[in-house]
A and B are shown apart, each in its own frame.
Chain A
Amino acid sequence: MHPTHQPPVPSTGTFHPPIRYPMMAKAKHWIEPHPQGIYVRPADIWIDPSTPKKHAVVTHGHADHARGGHGEVWATPETLAIMGLRYGTDAGTPLAYGEGFERGGVRFSLHSAGHVLGSAQVLMEYQGERVVVTGDFKRRPDPTCAPFEPVPCDIFITEATFGLPVFRHPPIAGEIDKIFARLEAEPDHCLLVGAYALGKAQRVIAELRRAGWDKPIYLHGAMVRMCELYEELGVSLGELRLVMDTDKEDMRGQIIICPPSALIDKWSRRLPNPVTAMASGWMRVRGRARQRGVEIPLVISDHADWDELTGTIRELAPRETWITHGSEDGLLRWCELHQIKARALAMIGREDGDDG
């Protein structure tokens, strides 16, 4: 599923206070933020552009970062495979974590971001200056992808999806336990978990396996190909079955994974008494969970929470922090309070959507 195919979620996450943030760099920097992406002028390369470009580095496969139609693409082999599946793109230069290339005097290399399988940060070195673009990242362990690698830099260009102190993701084990507790209390029902099709779904499945759930897990049709790709790329998910091929009665007491949009879709009528859950960092806020009509909010996110965002900035102690998207006002304010040089880049097309 692609976020733009779903009905728009009324956004409570964006607001526009009448504040003007001064531009930090006086002379034009070699890295230019544009609404449609980050442009690296000396190399003539875009990072995660939202419109087709001749040269693009893509951090990961989510639709608000990866698009089809670029000329030359650099990304991890996993991200290229995901793009191939989603957009039918077939070319691209694979770069493993730590590998790089040079163009126009800029040295590019990719480093693990811990967000989803294949997700990468981009390190760029040019005339003695080091710049890191995080794409999306998290610091929590995730059995389906490599952990975040802290990369020292002068300019840290970060996401801020959860850039407000209300967002603190609890340990995932407690959230997974909510699923088991409900199934035990209501064995006649099935448990329907809404999870973004790329990354979140596989992580939830892998965490269920880690917690000892060895029964088949049932899938909405839209999840199947991505799960198969994860398996091909070496992430083992255990036995998966298709809801469409299963008798209604056989799904009582079972766990079913579907895209968030299918939770209240006609599709769910084929399930036996579904109890609905949704895995997303946005579930931290009760109103947001209620708005989705979810009965079990699972605060499981593939993005850094407030403590991870601020902790990472502290740990890397860059000269400047640039913020691409999310609740940039909150993180900017934190930087200001801690006398850290920061600026917000107005990036478009980065959605406050279901991949939280």
Chain B
Amino acid sequence: MRRFAALIDSLIYTRSRNAKLAAIAAYLRATPDPDRGWALAALTDSLDFPAVKAATIRNLAGTRIDPELFRLSRHHVGDTAETVALVWPDLPDGEQSDPGLDEVVQALFATTRATAPDIVAALLDRMDANSRYAMLKLALGGMRVGVSARLAKTAFAQAFDVAIDDVEELWHALDPPYEALFRWAEEGGKRPDLSTTPFFRPFMLSHPFEGDSLDLGEYAVEWKWDGIRVEAVHLGGETRLYSRGGDDISAAFPDIVEAFDRDGVIDGELLVRGTDQGGEAASFNALQKRLGRKTVSKKMRQDFPAFVRIYDLLMDGEEDLRLLPWYQRRQRLEAFVPKLNADHFDLSAVIKVDDFAALESMRAGARDAAIEGVMLKRRESPYLAGRVTGHWYKWKRDPLNADCVMMYAQRGNGRRASFYSDYTFGCWTEDGELLPVGKAYSGFTDEELKWLDRFVRQNTLNRFGPVREVAKSLVLEVAFDSIHESKRHKSGLAMRFPRIHRIRKDKPAEEADRIATLRGMIS
């Protein structure tokens, strides 16, 4: 358990992505099966021990320490698992017999509500404080070490020098502790057969379009919808919905999962219908109300009904179509979609356009709330995992711009910890009051960052912890993809993808934009 605990602690204190990857990879290489597989499962939240509850642990603490002292300690530490780990009495160093991760996992699997307290207590007695912390976090679920499932898989790929896409595919087909996965990666073993398992197939991604023109005979055009990219899988009698990163988000969208009842795998955009849009796709803002929820209420399902606008068909029944050219997959898709429940699935239309000039004006004119731009897809391309050049291009609408005034600045993280690099900016009301409309921390060069940092330090009015209020004198030209109504800010507005486009040292703050101007940009 000590090795695993050391990994967990190093991840807690490391903010750099590369350092996290290196730490996980080193652990996976140096640790034998099945411990490393359990560790990987813990990092990706793939283990569940329903018999162990926070209350179990809390009550357990009461058997070793006065409840009032525990309450005071818990109040100070702010986390039950950590408090128990810290206050649990240590056996003398020589008498601890630190169990292996596998032993701990097997013991936790074997617990029932009735036996959990004794089993957990016996394990805690054998460990030091760091191991106790790691075990309690593992038992309660949610390591909270700032590692996404994707990052853990990337670390796996780096550790054994295999392709991340292969890892993604196999990952979802296998169960912890993934011994077959390690065997395959380490020894080049045979790939397990996955044709009827509802695992995640990695998405085909696009590059930004930066040219002047494309031959529309060679490339087909679709709208780029502004929702979240999802993959719906129905195979072997099971249905799953995956996000772009390969996370299983089925629980948040039961309406989609229930409705997807044909064998196959689709790639599409998850959107919600808005009443303002006459039942058509609403903005990303509306979709956000349903994102990030582990479960979803009936009211949510009614108020924000979700549907998938389908772009592509990866599997038709058990037949893998990914090596077929796009135009053939498209034909199969057009035949597939009518079999689905029309409330929850429709087809992303191919745009008929005569020439590139017409497409350019169409893209510029598109102000539909749910359109981000257009997609250009080569008709002959197979469905390729990842971002491969020369096949798919995204051509986003030109960003919107507004001149805003810097109001607050906050310190960044990691490499930027000594810089004020996150800026909140606002626009003027009709009464001459400045209200925040957004926050941005990108878009500037290192040189500009140094300048902005100096500006913040020299123009500080107030300090609130890591935040400084600055003199309302600097105009920032902010670029953003779209702007929506939002209750989050006092201005009632929220920007999508705001970034600092230019520093307008030349412009007086009074001449920055008004809230009303921004309101006019709502699509």
List residues of chain A with CB under 8 Å of any chain B CB. Answer: 7, 10, 12-13, 15, 164-168, 264-266, 268-269, 284-287, 289-290, 293-297, 327, 329-330, 333-334, 337
List B residues 72-95 near A (Cβ within 8 Å). 72-73, 75-79, 82-83, 86-87, 90
Q: A268-B418, A333-B69 are in contact. Are A166 and B77 (CB under 8 A)?
A: yes
> In the complex, A10→B14 CA distance in Å?
22
Among candidates A10, A165, A337, residue contacting B465 with C-beta atoms closer than 8 Å: A10
Q: A166-B76, A290-B13, A294-B13 are in contact. Are A330 and B69 (CB under 8 A)?
A: yes
Residue of A nearest to B414 (CB): A293
Q: Say yes or no: B66 contacts A295, CB within 8 Å.
A: no
Chain B residues whose C-beta falls within 8 Å of the C-beta of A330 in the assembled complex = 69, 72-73
Q: A7-B463, A284-B86, A293-B417 are in contact. Are A164 and B12 (CB under 8 A)?
A: no
State whether the Cβ of B324 lies closer than 8 Å to any Cβ in chain A.
no
Residue of B nearest to A182 (CB): B10
Q: Say yes or no: A327 contacts B72, CB within 8 Å.
A: yes
State whether the Cβ of B262 lies closer than 8 Å to any Cβ in chain A.
no
> In the complex, A250→B243 CA distance in Å?
47
Q: Give the Cβ gap from B420 to chain A, nearest Cβ, in Å.
A: 10
Q: Give the Cβ gap from B12 to chain A, nearest Cβ, in Å.
A: 6
Q: Give the Cβ gap from A344 to chain B, nearest Cβ, in Å.
A: 13
> In the complex, A337→B72 CA distance in Å?
14
Q: Say yes or no: B13 contacts A13, CB within 8 Å.
A: no
Residues of B within 8 A of A (CB-CB), count: 29
State whether the Cβ of B68 lies closer than 8 Å to any Cβ in chain A.
yes
Among A166, A269, A297, A337, the one with the most B-chain Cβ atoms within 10 Å of its Cβ is: A166
Q: Say yes or no: A333 contacts B66, CB within 8 Å.
A: yes
Q: Say yes or no: B65 contacts A264, CB within 8 Å.
A: no
Known: A164-B72, A167-B86. 10 other contacts (CB 8 A): A165-B73, A166-B83, A266-B418, A286-B12, A289-B13, A295-B14, A295-B15, A327-B72, A334-B69, A337-B66
Q: Say yes or no: A287 contacts B86, CB within 8 Å.
A: no
Among candidates A268, A287, A293, A333, residue contacting B77 with C-beta atoms closer than 8 Å: A287
Q: Say yes or no: B418 contacts A285, CB within 8 Å.
A: no
Among candidates B76, B78, B79, B417, residue contacting A164 with C-beta atoms closer than 8 Å: B76
Chain A residues whose C-beta falls within 8 Å of the C-beta of B66 in the assembled complex = 333-334, 337
Chain B residues whose C-beta falls within 8 Å of the C-beta of A166 in the assembled complex = 73, 76-77, 83, 86-87
26 A-B residue pairs with Cβ-Cβ distance under 8 Å, sorted by A, are A7-B465, A10-B465, A15-B72, A15-B75, A15-B76, A164-B72, A164-B73, A165-B87, A166-B83, A168-B86, A168-B90, A264-B411, A264-B418, A266-B418, A285-B82, A287-B77, A287-B78, A289-B13, A290-B13, A293-B15, A295-B13, A330-B69, A330-B73, A333-B66, A333-B69, A334-B69
Q: Give the Cβ gap from B291 to chain A, nearest Cβ, in Å.
A: 26
Total A-B residue pairs with C-beta atoms closer than 8 Å?
76
Q: Say yes or no: A333 contacts B13, CB within 8 Å.
A: no
List B residues 36-95 near A (Cβ within 8 Å). 65-66, 68-69, 72-73, 75-79, 82-83, 86-87, 90
Q: Give the Cβ gap from B154 to chain A, nearest Cβ, in Å.
A: 20
Chain A residues whose C-beta falls within 8 Å of the C-beta of B75 in the assembled complex = 15
Q: A10-B465, A164-B69, A333-B72 are in contact. Are A269 and B12 (CB under 8 A)?
A: no
> In the complex, A274→B214 CA distance in Å?
48
> In the complex, A110→B242 CA distance in Å?
70
Residue of A nearest to B146 (CB): A290
> In the complex, A327→B413 CA distance in Å?
31
> In the complex, A334→B73 CA distance in Å?
12
> In the complex, A149→B15 CA distance in Å?
43
Q: A294-B13, A327-B72 are in contact. Are A165 and B418 (CB under 8 A)?
A: no
Among B72, B73, B87, B463, the one with the most A-chain Cβ atoms within 10 Å of its Cβ is: B72
> In the complex, A167→B73 CA distance in Å?
9
Among candidates B69, B72, B76, B411, residue contacting A285 with C-beta atoms closer than 8 Å: B76
Chain B residues whose C-beta falls within 8 Å of the C-beta of A284 in the assembled complex = 86
Q: Give the Cβ gap from B231 to chain A, nearest Cβ, in Å.
A: 34
Q: Give the Cβ gap from B132 to chain A, nearest Cβ, in Å.
A: 12
Chain B residues whose C-beta falls within 8 Å of the C-beta of A285 in the assembled complex = 76-77, 82, 86
Chain B residues whose C-beta falls within 8 Å of the C-beta of A269 in the assembled complex = 418
Chain A residues whose C-beta falls within 8 Å of the C-beta of B465 in the assembled complex = 7, 10
> In the complex, A94→B9 CA distance in Å?
47
Q: Say yes or no: A333 contacts B68, CB within 8 Å.
A: yes
Q: Give the Cβ gap from A292 to chain B, nearest Cβ, in Å.
A: 10
